[in-house]
């Protein structure tokens, strides 16, 4: 994971290294990813500890050991999903075409009212 633009490290619990080691040991230092096509567990060395469900739930039951490749793939998919979510947009007033005569007449009338005051 790229930590340069993230505050993730700051949000980890103080005992993260202990939890991380517990998860790796529990998995026997083997990636826990299960292939969908064969239902077999990946045989690569687990180097990363991943949150099964996104967020800040650092319970051992929400952590899994993954090899670097599967962790990168999962993180990329999650990032792609997050980027596809619609974002709240700021509302702007509708733009008026400068050649719209009705608006031109209103603007002239408004300007005339201001100069009369």
Residue range 96-117: mean pLDDT, rounded? 66
CA distances (Å), origin 109, targets 17, 25, 77, 106, 113: 71, 78, 56, 5, 6
Model's pTM, two decimal places? Answer: 0.65
CA distance 103 to 64: 62
Residues 19/60, Cβ–Cβ less than 8 Å = yes
pLDDT tens, position by position, 30-39: 999 999 899 9
Identify which has the larger pLDDT, 14 or 90.
Answer: 14
pLDDT tens digits, 61-80: 999 999 999 999 999 998 88
Contact 69, 44 (CB under 8 A): yes
């Amino acid at each position: 994971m790229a930590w340069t633009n993230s505050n993730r490290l700051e949000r980890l619990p103080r005992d993260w290294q202990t939890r991380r080691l517990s998860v790796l040991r529990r998995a026997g230092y083997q990636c826990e990813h299960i292939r969908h096509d064969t239902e077999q567990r990946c045989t690569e060395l687990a180097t990363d500890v991943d949150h099964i469900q996104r967020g800040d739930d650092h319970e051992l039951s929400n952590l899994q050991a993954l090899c670097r490749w599967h962790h990168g793939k999962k993180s990329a998919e999650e990032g792609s999903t997050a980027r596809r979510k619609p974002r709240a947009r700021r509302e702007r007033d509708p733009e008026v075409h400068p050649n719209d005569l009705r608006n031109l007449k209103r603007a002239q009338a408004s300007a005339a009212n201001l100069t009369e005051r």
